[in-house]
Structures are given as C-alpha cells and as structure tokens.
Amino acid sequence: MSARERVAGNVANYVDERTGSAKWLKKTLTKVFPDHWSFMLGEIVLYSFIILLLSGTFLTFWFDPSMREVEYEGSYEPLSGLKMSAAYASTLHISFDVRGGLLMRQIHHWAALIFMAAMVAHLMRVFFTGAFRKPREFNWIIGVGLLTLGIVEGFLGYSLPDDLLSGTGIRIAEAIIQAIPVVGSYLAYFVFGGAFPGEMFIQRIYTVHILLIPGIFLALITAHLMLVWYQKHTQYPGPGRTEKNVVGYPLMPVYMAKAGGFFFIVFGVTAFLGAVASINPIWIYGPYTPGQIGAGSQPDWYMGWLDGLVRMAPPLETHAFGYTISWNILVPGLIIPGIIFTGMALYPFIESWMTGDKREHHLLDRPRNAPNRTALGAMSITFMLVTLINGGNDLLATHFDLSINQIMWFSRIGVFVLPPLAFVITKRICLSLQRADRELVLHGRETGRLVMLPHGEFIEVHEALSPERAYTLTQHEQPAAIAPVVEDENGVRNPKGAKAKLQARLSRAHSEQIAKPTAKDMLEIENHH
Amino acid sequence: MRFLSKYRRHRFAGPLLLLAGLLFVGFGYTVAQAASEEAVLTSSDKATLIAEGKEIFARGCSSCHGLNAEGAGIAPSLIGVGAASVDFQVATGRMPMADMSQQAMRKEPVYNEEETAALAAYVASLAPGPASVTNEELAWERSGDTAEGGELFRNNCAMCHNLAGQGGALTQGKYAPTVMGVEPKHIYEAMITGPQAMPVFADTTITPEEKLSIIKWIKHAENEPALGGAALGRVGPVTEGLLAWTLGLGLLIGIAVWLTTKAR
C-alpha cells in the first residue's frame, strides 16, 4: 500500500466512522444506468434548470421588481428621458450598464427556451416508449406537473421586464382570468390588486417567479429523480435485458464523467447561444403602456399553442343573468388546455384500463410495436403544431405572402381534420414497419449481391440476421384483445355492459398488430430453403 | 522638347499616354453629361413639366386611372391626391402596379426621378393636394428627437408596423410593410397621404416636427447595430423558439448521441 492510498483510506475511514456513508456510497456509486441518447433528454432539462438558477440569481442582483414610475437616465439613448417602470429601467440597466448583464439575460432566456423544449422532447420519449407504465405512473404525473409549472414559470419570467411585448401577454392573461364565469372579474381584481395594470403585479409575479415556483420545482425534481433512482431506469429491449435487470454502466466512474461533462456541454451551448443570438431585445419594444400594442406580438414558443387556440376561436359570447360568458376566451384559454393536461396526466391509467395490463414494465416499447399509442402521440403533436402555427399566423402571413384569414381558416379546419389523419397515417406506418421487421427476421437482410446459379437463375443473397438483432426484433409481447363479457356463464348480463364493450373495443384497437414471426414460421422457412 | 524626344520611347510612355487619354475622356464625359442634365432642368419650366407628366400619365397610368385621372372601376381618382402621393407611390415602385393583388408592393421603380417629378407636377396641377418633399427638406437629423419618436411610433404606428418596425399582417392578405430601409421623404409622404390601408396622419394629429422625430427613431432602429448578437429578423419569440429547438436542442441531442455511441 502506497502512502497515498493509506492517506485516502484514513480519510475515508474517518468520514465513514462519523457518517456511516460507506455502505450507502458503495451501493450508490455502483448503481447501473442504461446507455441511450434519449435517456439524456431529461438531463438537459435538469442542467438547464441549474443554469436558470445560477443566471437568474445573477439577474436578481440588479433587477428592481417594482412598477414605480422612473425617468430613464441610463446609457441607451433612444429611450432616455422616457417615463417607465423601475422593472423595465432596471432590465435596461442590466442589459447596457452591468458588465456581462446582457449576456446573462440572454443565457437565462435561452436556457428557459431549451429547458421547455428538452422537457417536451423528454415527455415525447417517455410517452412513445411506454415508460410511463406501471410502476411509473406517479412519476409521469409529476412530470406533467413540472411541464405545467414550466409554462407558468416561463410566462412569468417573460413578463417581468415590463416591456411592451410582455405587457401585451399579461393583458391576455388578464382576459383569460376574466373569462372564468361569474368569479373571473373578481379574480382579475384580486390578482392585479385592482384594475389592470395596477401597481402590484410585477412584484407579485416576481415573488412567484423566483421563490414559489422554483421551490416547487426543486421539490418535484427531487421526487422525480428519487423515484427514478428507486424504480431504476427503464431500458430498451435487447439480448440479456429483462424486466428484472438493468444493463448498462455504473454511476462511478462512467456516468459521473458523462453526466458531469454533459452539464458543462449544456452550459456551453446555452452560453454560446446567449453570446451570438439576440433574444428578447426589450429595448426595441419600449416600456409597457396599456394604450400601446404592436403587430406580430407573440408569446414564447411553449405558450404559442395557447395563443394559436385563442386566435382561431370564433367570436362567441353569451349574456345571462347579468354576466357575460366569453366562450371565445374561455374555451381555448381554459377548457381545452384543461382537457389536454388532465388527459395527459391520466393517460397511464387510461391505457392500463384499455389494455387490461396491470403488470410492471421496465423494458421499453419500440414505438412501432405500440401502434395505437404512437398514433395517439402523433395525433397530439399534430394538434399542437396546428395551434402553434396559428399562434404565429401574422408572421407567417407577412413572411410567406399569405393571407392571415386563410391561415386562420386552415387551422380552424385543420385542428379538427389533421390530428385524426395523423392518427390513421401513423398507425399504418407503424404496422408497415412491423411488417418490415417480420420480413427482415424471416428472410434476412437484402445484401444487394446477385448470384447466378448454374442453371442460369439469378437470386439475391439474403443474409440471416444476427441472433441478437433477431431477438431484439421479436422479443416484444403481442397481447390479445380483451374479449367483451356480455353475460357470464350463468347467463347474467354484465352489469358494466356498455363500459365493458367500450373497453373491449379500445383494447381491440390497441392490440392491432402484425403477427411477429414464430418459431414455426422460422422452421417453415428453413425447410423451404 | 528635349524632354519629349528623350522619353518618347521610354517603356512607360505608352501606358502613361493611354491613362492620360482615359482620364481625359472620362472627365470630359462627366462634365458634358452634368451640363446636359442641367440643361434639361433649366429648360423645363413648370408648364412643360406638367405637359411632360400628362404625356407619361396618358401612356402609363391612364388605362386604369382614366385619361384625365378621374378614376375608373379598378383604380381611384387621382384628382386632389397631390404630388406627395404620386412621389410616394411611383418612386417606391408601387405604381404602376405589378398585378391587381391585395395591395401594391414595393419594387424597383419604373420611372426615373424626372419622370416621377413630371407625373407629380401633372397630378398636382389637377387639384391642390399635399406637396411632395425631398430628403434635404426634412431636417429630421437636426430637429428630431429619437426617444419622443419611439414613443410616437409605439402609439401610432406599431399596431400595424410592429414594435420594431418590421411590418405586420392586416386582414385578407393586406399588410403593413416594414419601415426599415425606406427613404425619409417616403416615410413622411406616407404619413401625410395615407397610402393603401394606411390612415392619413394629418399635421393636426402628428405635427411636422413629431413626424421628423418618428423618422429619426426609425432611422435609429434601422442603423442600430445588433446589440445582443444575431437579430433573428427582429420578429420576436417565433424565430427565437425556432432557434432554441433547432440549433439549441438539435446541438444538444447531437452531442448526447455522440456521448452514448459505443466505442469501437
């Protein structure tokens, strides 16, 4: 034993005797994680969150969350002498008079956009591979909560500088609050501390933005990661991978290095964007005044779909008992998002009910092997894309020489027509891919080598798949649909008749598959050759 | 003479002579052309300018606007629109229209400066209207106030032309064009004549001094260096979101793929 090892041993022993951490560390540091790029999407979210905390802290050193009116005297000349809120003036101060302030502001904002984008990408990975199935339903719900909070948190941050663009967004948020039947106008007064814009909302959303939501975020992220830790990470199917093991590399040293390095890469990419690409140049937009508005006002992308929904809503209002119900805001601004997020949160339970599958799943699905789920996902993404496109309808109109009315009608019709179309097409594509897999397993890979047989016949040489690959392509289960129980063996009608029938129908849709090759199929092929 | 006879066979003599010849012809041509231009301007007094304009009008505009600019089904009457309107529409290439679509778009002008001036003089002679201005007449650089101009722009223009003056969509394919890269006189003329879907901003609404301030702010916004890096078209969160998804997340996913590639 060298002297160095002895010293290290002594130190470790000293710590262990006082904290008892050796056993825990040994278990923890050797924990195995599977390796796949799509498992790093969640890491991007986590690292962006850390970047947001750090850059955000920097910004709080100078930001003045106050709507007190000040006269701008900073170094950005085209606004000098103008009356504005202290919030806007201090954001200008950060941008132009604090060393590195503009860079930090831009890093903070780019990190927020990437944070949300990576979160959605992570969500898609979890959805399409079926990683939300038992026992991970709670973690899915936590994820949906994080996504919702992320949207709110991003919107509040976008609103803090109190510039003309974000003020427009706050005005729309106020309209959505007011659209809540009966209590809406009271709630709006409560939130803004009086008539819009009042003198309160910047300091209020500041507290929520820097204290309340980040706090909830931290708690939820901790729970999210602890559950991943406890339930172990899912893995893609392959030889040697079962529901009872995890094939991968240990945390120490492989993932310590990879994850640690990846953090700095995420930081680097964000800082790069912050350094070369301008984001939210509030000095051009000017300070917020309720009387002013700009054409082409947009929210950040994760709110764009909501804006698009509001923009495509037909102008419907009802007056009843002295109250006005603005359906044109209420439906797209509250009801549809409510349905979407509730449906998303409940999906693991819905799928488990549809398939009748109550077992644990640690092996992921290849998306093509769950055609119905993949098609549902494609349908939801199509819905979001249509609404997102309508959210930018004014910019699309000016930049692609289109009519804003045509885009609106395209999305009004498209939002109903295109998602079902995407469902059908995706499901067909999945089944075709299953057919291709079946062909591949049965007949091997087409090598492109043509061979002339002695009697003059040309054949293309097919190369048999490696057993590993053949296993990967055939390992999935193909559960049969639930048979509808109309009456039991004694002829008593099922009391849950309609529900059972619906379940059976959904189950049939969900279990639509191309039969994977069986051992018998393989044998027949062998004999045939 | 000794000098000439001594160097006339020098190897640089030929090229130097050629250079001198070229310079002589070049200068001569420039002077002669300037002189002839002056001749055109001095020889055409107001009456001939109007006559000239009438002739151009008959050839290029009357098929839509009518032989006496009285208007027709497809084009409005030009009686009383004034020289400012003609200067704006013709000098920015909007008139003659390329096609009868939603609105005339900016393009390479069809008529040169003199022809435009003649047309403007003719139309102005039909009935009084707002007079055209020149860039030199507008003392926006001296008397404008950028901050005030920005405030006026946000109050009066931004709802159609965008907060950053990048233009915006109107209904049925009409649009408010970008105000970036527009000549000061055309900005001014647009405000006093209200072309296409734009309202007229009379001097009682926005005083001439305030108009100059608006021009000063627009010119400032146009020439402001990209302070935070690439401006991304200055159209706000749409391009920012696009870049976050493509370059930002794209780069990170690319690196994640690279990090998880098995060593071979």
Flag whether B232 is in a domain.
Answer: no
| Cβ-defined contact of A82 to B244 (cutoff 8 Å) | no
- Report CA-CA distances (Å) from A165 to A160, A169, A171, A337, B226: 11, 7, 10, 23, 19
CA–centroid distance for A270 within its chain: 19
- Half-sphere exposure in the Cβ direction for B108 (13 Å, CA): 0
Average pLDDT value for residue range A312-341:
92
| Cβ-defined contact of A300 to B237 (cutoff 8 Å) | yes
Flag whether B182 is in a domain.
Answer: yes
Structure tokens at B166: 């990048």
CA A117 – CA B114 distance, rounded (Å): 56
Structure tokens at A363: 């092996």
- Three-state secondary structure of chain B: CHHHHHHCCCCCHHHHHHHHHHHHHHHHHHHHHHHHHHHHHHHCCHHHHHHHHHHHHHHHCHHHHCCCCCCCCCCCCCCCCHHHHHHHHHHCCCCCCCCCCCCCCCCCCCCCHHHHHHHHHHHHHHCCCCCCCCCCCCCHHHHCCHHHHHHHHHHHCHHHHCCCCCCEECHHHCEECCCCCCCHHHHHHHHHHCCCCCCCCCCCCCCHHHHHHHHHHHHHHHHCCCCCCECHHHCCHHHHHHHHHHHHHHHHHHHHHHHCCCCC
B-chain CB neighbours of A256 within 8 Å are none
CB neighbours (10 Å) of residue A414?
20
Percent helix, strand, coil in chain A, to 5, is 65, 5, 25
Among A118, A196, A206, which Cα is nearest to A158's? A206
| Cβ-defined contact of A295 to B161 (cutoff 8 Å) | yes
Q: Which residues pair with A287 in a beta bridge?
A: A163
The pLDDT > 70 percentage for chain A reads 99
A482 DSSP 8-state letter: P
Flag whether B69 is in a domain.
Answer: yes
Contact in structure between B48 and B125 (CB atoms under 8 Å): no
The answer to whether B257 faces chain A, any CB pair under 8 Å, is yes
**B203 contacts: CB under 8 Å, gap ≥ 6:** B192
Work out the minimum CA distance from A458 to partner chain B, whole angstroms.
36
Same domain as B119, residue B56: yes
Last residue of a domain, one of B86, B102, B126: B126
The answer to whether B163 faces chain A, any CB pair under 8 Å, is yes
Q: Above 70 in pLDDT, residue B44?
A: no
B-chain CB neighbours of A304 within 8 Å are 237-238, 241
| Cβ-defined contact of A273 to B241 (cutoff 8 Å) | no
Query: Looking at chain B, which residue has its C-alpha nearest residue A299?
Result: B237
Closest CB from A265, A286, A404 relative to B154: A286
Q: Residue B35: which pLDDT band, with cuts at 50, 70 and 90?
A: low
A-chain CB neighbours of B151 within 8 Å are 82, 286
Query: Looking at chain A, which residue has its C-alpha nearest residue B160?
Result: A295
Per residue in A465-510, pLDDT (tens digit) is 999 999 999 999 998 888 777 777 777 777 777 888 888 889 999 9
CA A288 – CA A442 distance, rounded (Å): 67
Give the model's pLDDT for residue A71: 95
Same domain as B162, residue B120: no
The answer to whether A413 faces chain B, any CB pair under 8 Å, is no
The answer to whether A403 faces chain B, any CB pair under 8 Å, is yes
| Cβ-defined contact of A121 to B244 (cutoff 8 Å) | no
Closest CB from A102, A273, A405 relative to B171: A405
CA A133 – CA A289 distance, rounded (Å): 49
**A342 contacts: CB under 8 Å, gap ≥ 6:** none
Give the model's pLDDT for residue A231: 93
CB neighbours (10 Å) of residue B161?
24
CA A305 – CA A390 distance, rounded (Å): 8
Same domain as B219, residue B145: yes
Contact in structure between A184 and A178 (CB atoms under 8 Å): yes
The answer for B167, left when phi > 0, alpha when psi is -120 to 50, beta otherwise, is left
Q: Above 70 in pLDDT, residue B38?
A: no
- Report CA-CA distances (Å) from A342 to A102, A134, A347: 38, 18, 8
Closest CB from B163, B169, B229 relative to A277: B229
Q: Residue B248: which pLDDT band, with cuts at 50, 70 and 90?
A: very high
The pLDDT > 70 percentage for chain B reads 95
B-chain CB neighbours of A401 within 8 Å are 173
**A90 contacts: CB under 8 Å, gap ≥ 6:** A62, A63, A64
Give the model's pLDDT for residue A282: 94
Per residue in B112-169, pLDDT (tens digit) is 989 999 999 999 999 988 888 888 888 888 888 999 999 999 999 999 999 999 999 9
Flag whether B58 is in a domain.
Answer: yes
Contact in structure between A288 and A163 (CB atoms under 8 Å): yes
The answer to whether A265 faces chain B, any CB pair under 8 Å, is yes
Same domain as B118, residue B186: no
Same domain as B190, residue B159: yes
Flag whether B41 is in a domain.
Answer: no
Closest CB from B229, B238, B240 relative to A276: B229
Angle (CA) A261 A265 A270, round 5°: 150
Give the model's pLDDT for residue A502: 87
A-chain CB neighbours of B228 within 8 Å are 95, 102, 106, 277-279, 281
- Report CA-CA distances (Å) from A89 to A95, A156, A166, A198, A383: 10, 18, 15, 18, 39
| Cβ-defined contact of A296 to B228 (cutoff 8 Å) | no
CA A115 – CA B124 distance, rounded (Å): 60
Contact in structure between A45 and A183 (CB atoms under 8 Å): no
State the total domains in chain B.
2
Query: Looking at chain B, which residue has its C-alpha nearest residue A302?
Result: B241
Last residue of a domain, one of B126, B161, B191: B126
Give the model's pLDDT for residue A213: 97
Flag whether B233 is in a domain.
Answer: no
Give the model's pLDDT for residue B90: 93
Same domain as B221, residue B144: yes
CA A120 – CA A304 distance, rounded (Å): 14
Per residue in A93-146, pLDDT (tens digit) is 999 999 999 999 999 999 999 999 999 999 999 999 999 999 999 999 999 999
Q: Above 80 in pLDDT, residue A1?
A: no
Interface test with B, best of A115, A301, A302, A409 (most B CBs within 10 A): A301
Last residue of a domain, one of B126, B148, B171: B126
DSSP string, A363-398: BPPPGGGSHHHHHHHHHHHHHHHHHHHHHTHHHHHH
Average pLDDT value for residue range A451-472:
92
Same domain as B199, residue B147: yes
Which residue reads 């054409």 in tokens? A295
Per residue in B50-87, pLDDT (tens digit) is 999 999 999 989 888 988 888 888 888 999 899 999 99
Average pLDDT, chain B: 88
- Three-state secondary structure of A185-213: HHHHHHHHCCCCCCCCHHHHHHHHHHHHH
Angle (CA) B8 B9 B10, round 5°: 95
Q: Above 60 in pLDDT, residue A396?
A: yes
Structure tokens at B219: 């010119």
Flag whether B13 is in a domain.
Answer: no
Q: Residue B13: which pLDDT band, with cuts at 50, 70 and 90?
A: confident
The answer to whether B259 faces chain A, any CB pair under 8 Å, is yes
Tell me phi and psi for residue A448, to 5 degrees: 80, 0
Q: Crossing angle, helix A164-178 and helix A301-312, to 10 degrees?
A: 50
CA A481 – CA A479 distance, rounded (Å): 7
CATH of the domain at B182: 1.10.760.10
Indicate the SS3 state at residue A112: helix
The pLDDT > 90 percentage for chain A reads 77
Same domain as B162, residue B111: no
Give the model's pLDDT for residue A528: 67
Which domains does chain A show, CATH number per domain?
30-303 (1.20.810.10), 427-486+495-528 (no CATH)
Asked if the bond preceding A420 is cis, omega within 30° of 0, the reply is: no
The answer to whether B155 faces chain A, any CB pair under 8 Å, is yes
Q: Above 60 in pLDDT, residue A151?
A: yes
Residue A38's H or E segment, with its range, is none
Give the model's pLDDT for residue A448: 87
The answer to whether A260 faces chain B, any CB pair under 8 Å, is no
Judged on CB neighbours under 10 Å (0-12, 13-18, 19+), B82 is buried
The answer to whether B228 faces chain A, any CB pair under 8 Å, is yes
B-chain CB neighbours of A40 within 8 Å are 256, 259-260
Average pLDDT value for residue range B185-210:
93
Contact in structure between B75 and B65 (CB atoms under 8 Å): yes
The one-letter amino acid at A200: M
Flag whether B101 is in a domain.
Answer: yes
Q: Above 60 in pLDDT, residue B41?
A: no
Q: Residue B40: which pLDDT band, with cuts at 50, 70 and 90?
A: low
A-chain CB neighbours of B236 within 8 Å are 165, 280, 296-298
Average pLDDT value for residue range A48-67:
96
A448 DSSP 8-state letter: E
Give the model's pLDDT for residue B37: 56
Polymer length of chain A: 529
Q: Crossing angle, helix A371-391 and helix A101-128, to 10 degrees?
A: 150
Give the model's pLDDT for residue A49: 97
- The interface residues of chain B toward chain A in range 95-124, judged by CB-CB distance below 8 A, are 102
* Greater model confidence, A201 or B100: A201
Tell me phi and psi for residue A40, to 5 degrees: -95, -5
Same domain as B79, residue B103: yes
Contact in structure between B118 and B49 (CB atoms under 8 Å): yes
Domain ranges, residue B68? 46-126
Same domain as B197, residue B162: yes
CA–centroid distance for B135 within its chain: 11
